[in-house]
Amino acid sequence: MEEEITDSPIDFSGGILINELTAWMDGGTITFYCETKDNKGLEVEIVQRAQLMKKDSQRFPGSIYLNGKRVGIRSSLEEKILIGLKRAIFNEKCNETDIDKKNLKNSIDFIQSDEFIKIARIVGRIKLSDNTRL
């Protein structure tokens, strides 16, 4: 079973610097290569939600990953990551585009949406009886 984390010592409160953004050609996965204000490198990935069948070697569709570990749904860590992404700025060398800004906004909006919870149920991350905060 894949490890799920719900907290991290990483400080997202000061926002994060996005050094690179990669949009994968798999149906929507976005990877943010970032660093915190204290120069700790991190990778935040929002996995695609077009193909909802998870294969053993793949990450859960519609999930957030921090440094390769799946983040718990509506956990304190998810909230910290959202705060960091909302306050994020792009590195000058990143050559941010309007598409990058839109991808960032769409990722944040998706994580906060009812669709995020719906997909988590479809892929088996949440049981129907689970009272995870919506």
Q: Where are the alpha helices (DSSP H) in 44-111?
A: 76-86, 98-111
Instruction: Give the CA dihedral 60, 63, 67, 70, nearest 10 degrees.
Output: -70
Question: Which tens digit of pLDDT belongs to each residue from 18-63?
Answer: 998 888 877 778 999 999 988 889 999 998 776 666 666 677 788 8
Question: Which tens digit of pLDDT belongs to each residue from 66-119?
Answer: 999 999 999 999 999 999 999 998 888 776 777 888 888 999 999 999 988 988
Read off the pTM: 0.85
Task: Identify the residue whose tokens are 């995020």.
Answer: 116
Q: What is the pLDDT of residue 39?
A: 85
